[in-house]
């Protein structure tokens, strides 16, 4: 891993393209800009001291990706160094730092620089940006802060009175030793299923609070041998072929989740078979069996979660957490569970991205106020009234079947295409027309209607405060790529650059 420089570059007074965030999204955007124009006036700011985003921050035990690494990596930066088909967090972080080094992106990067606010300046046709290191102006602003960047903590009565240790899985306290402790885990999502099996052997007792059971499928992970890595390194086409194969069968999942939902009971049968084999107790199996169609919530890939919950020193509590006391946690039945540590595995806020509160558009309204709890954007990328703002991993670009990296590269290509058009036509700004954004999102809403994410019979984090699914992309990813391959400038109001007086 590259050691971050102790002397960060000086923040410039002005830059053409400012990318906020240096995780997968920010690196994808910046790389696309530089590929299109190696001399681009580009700056990436990152609030942390290194690139990596969620794969830098989430260091909980067992943290790994649930998408095969052959697809969960940049197409322009393949690696033959992966140790498993499903990569672990340290490897993914090392990969992202190597991408920053090998693509030259680090020369455009300032770390330890947080975005504090940005407002569109109509007169200057630019963004007035305030950061923790000072002010600058940017012609184009790219918000690449990710959907999984800010942990969500529930508002639990009495939390501040607890005498033990409390932390969120996304900010794991590695200095705290769990050995011999009684631990309460709040949440049973994608993070919990990874770290709970890892800590179970150390703790004296685990109390797992489950609000809703999830469908669990086997994770078909395997170690990549030396021969396979050598072939990938010496014959890159083979690795590209594997990537294409994985992509193709993953798109087949989409057919089930969005178009052939009547076949989903067959997939549920696989999950039920695993549950029956790994949980001998019929009563516990009942507790762990969802009452909604598989895919409605995120499907969890794990081989260790269910056997861990079946242990004698692990208890699954199905009533909600009511309060925290000085010595433990109380469930809704009034029962007190004495614990030494509370770990929240309660996810993030994808439908309420914090960056939206920092961006102010043409009418003086923040993006958060504009969305009013229900995010939407043209192609998930641009928003009316916010000229020259491009979102990465914006509304309705998340996937339930494939790799978000594929979607990010598609969005980055759209950004690069927009910059080419602006440069070629001498445009100072582009602002997507409200009607174009409404038409697009009407199509998205309609396309989502019969998918499992909207009709699966569950309440999920895909749904925003209005009950709208503002997170998921409704169909095949190659259709999104086709729509973002070129910049549809006819859907935008544009302003040309001022010509200097003769």
Domains within the chain, CATH numbers bracketed? 14-150+350-430+474-496 (3.50.50.60)
54: its two tokens: 């969620």
What Rg value do the Cα atoms of the chain yield, rounded? 23
Contacts of 335 (CB under 8 A, 6+ apart): none
Question: How confident is the prediction along the chain (502 residues), in pLDDT tens digits per residue?
Answer: 444 443 446 899 999 999 999 999 999 999 999 999 999 999 999 999 999 999 999 999 999 999 999 999 999 999 999 999 999 999 999 999 999 999 999 999 999 999 999 999 999 999 999 999 999 999 999 999 987 667 778 889 999 999 999 999 999 999 999 999 999 999 999 999 999 999 999 999 999 999 999 999 999 999 999 999 999 999 999 999 999 999 999 998 888 888 888 889 999 999 999 999 999 999 999 999 999 999 888 899 999 999 999 999 999 999 989 999 999 999 999 999 999 999 999 877 766 889 999 999 999 999 999 999 999 999 999 999 999 999 999 999 999 899 999 999 999 999 999 999 999 999 999 999 999 999 999 999 999 998 988 877 777 878 888 889 999 999 999 999 999 999 999 999 999 987 654 4
Q: Look up tokens 């800009």; give the residue.
A: 33
Cβ neighbours, 10 Å, residue 348: 21
Task: Name 389's bridge partners.
Answer: 141
pTM as predicted: 0.94
Q: At what angle do helices 24-36 and 404-425 cross, to 10 degrees?
A: 40
Q: Look up tokens 């909207």; give the residue.
A: 454
Instruction: Locate all alpha helices (DSSP H) within 153-221, ordered by sequence.
Output: 192-199
Q: Are strands 328-331 and 134-143 parallel, antiparallel or unpaired?
A: unpaired
pLDDT at 476: 95
Residues 484, 410 contacting (CB under 8 angstroms): yes
pLDDT at 3: 44
The CA distance from 250 to 405, in Å, is 13
The candidate with the shortest Cα–Cα distance to 202, out of 169, 176, 223, 240, is 176
Instruction: Locate all alpha helices (DSSP H) within 37-130, ordered by sequence.
Output: 54-57, 89-102
């Amino acid at each position: 891993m590259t050691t971050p420089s102790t002397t960060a570059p000086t923040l410039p007074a002005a830059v053409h393209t400012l990318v906020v965030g240096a995780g997968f999204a920010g690196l994808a955007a910046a790389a696309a800009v530089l590929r299109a124009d190696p001399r681009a006036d580009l700056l990436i700011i990152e609030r942390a001291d290194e690139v990596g985003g969620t794969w830098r921050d989430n260091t909980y035990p067992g943290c790994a990706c649930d998408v095969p690494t052959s697809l969960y990596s940049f197409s322009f930066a393949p690696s033959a160094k992966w140790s498993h088909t499903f990569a672990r967090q340290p490897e993914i972080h090392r990969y992202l730092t190597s991408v920053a080094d090998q693509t030259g992106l680090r020369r455009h990067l300032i770390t330890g620089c947080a975005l504090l606010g940005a407002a569109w300046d109509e007169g200057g046709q630019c963004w007035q940006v305030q950061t923790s290191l000072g002010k600058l102006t940017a012609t184009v602003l790219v918000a690449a802060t990710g959907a999984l960047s800010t942990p969500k903590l529930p508002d639990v009565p009495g939390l501040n009175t607890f005498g033990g240790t409390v932390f969120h899985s996304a900010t794991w306290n590695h200095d705290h030793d769990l050995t011999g402790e009684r631990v309460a885990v709040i949440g049973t999502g994608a993070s919990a299923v990874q770290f709970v099996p890892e800590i179970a052997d150390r703790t004296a007792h685990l109390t797992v609070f489950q609000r809703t059971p999830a469908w669990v499928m086997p994770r078909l992970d395997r170690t990549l041998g030396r021969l396979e890595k050598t072939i990938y390194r010496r014959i890159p086409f083979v690795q590209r072929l594997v990537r294409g194969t994985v992509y193709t069968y993953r798109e087949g999942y989409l057919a089930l989740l969005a178009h052939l939902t009547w076949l989903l009971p067959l997939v549920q049968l696989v999950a039920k078979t695993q549950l029956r084999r790994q949980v001998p107790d019929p009563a516990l199996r009942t507790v762990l069996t969802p009452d909604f169609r598989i895919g409605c919530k995120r499907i969890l890939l794990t081989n260790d979660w269910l056997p861990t919950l079946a242990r004698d020193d692990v208890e699954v509590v199905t009533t909600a957490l009511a309060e925290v006391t000085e010595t433990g946690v109380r469930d809704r039945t009034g029962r007190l569970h004495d614990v030494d540590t509370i770990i929240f595995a309660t996810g993030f806020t994808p439908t309420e991205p914090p960056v939206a509160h920092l961006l102010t558009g043409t009418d003086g309204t923040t993006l958060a106020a504009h969305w009013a709890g229900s995010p939407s954007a043209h192609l998930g990328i641009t928003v009316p009234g916010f000229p020259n703002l491009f979102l990465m991993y914006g509304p309705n670009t998340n996937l339930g079947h494939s790799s978000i990296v594929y979607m990010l590269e598609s969005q980055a290509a759209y950004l690069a295409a927009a910059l080419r058009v602006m440069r070629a036509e001498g445009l100072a700004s582009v602002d997507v027309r409200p009607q174009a954004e409404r038409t697009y999102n009407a199509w998205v809403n309609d396309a989502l209607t019969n998918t499992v994410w909207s009709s699966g019979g569950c309440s999920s984090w895909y749904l925003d405060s209005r009950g709208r699914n503002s997170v998921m992309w409704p169909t095949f990813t190659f259709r999104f790529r086709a729509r973002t391959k070129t910049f549809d400038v006819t859907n935008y109001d544009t302003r040309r650059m001022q010509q200097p007086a003769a």
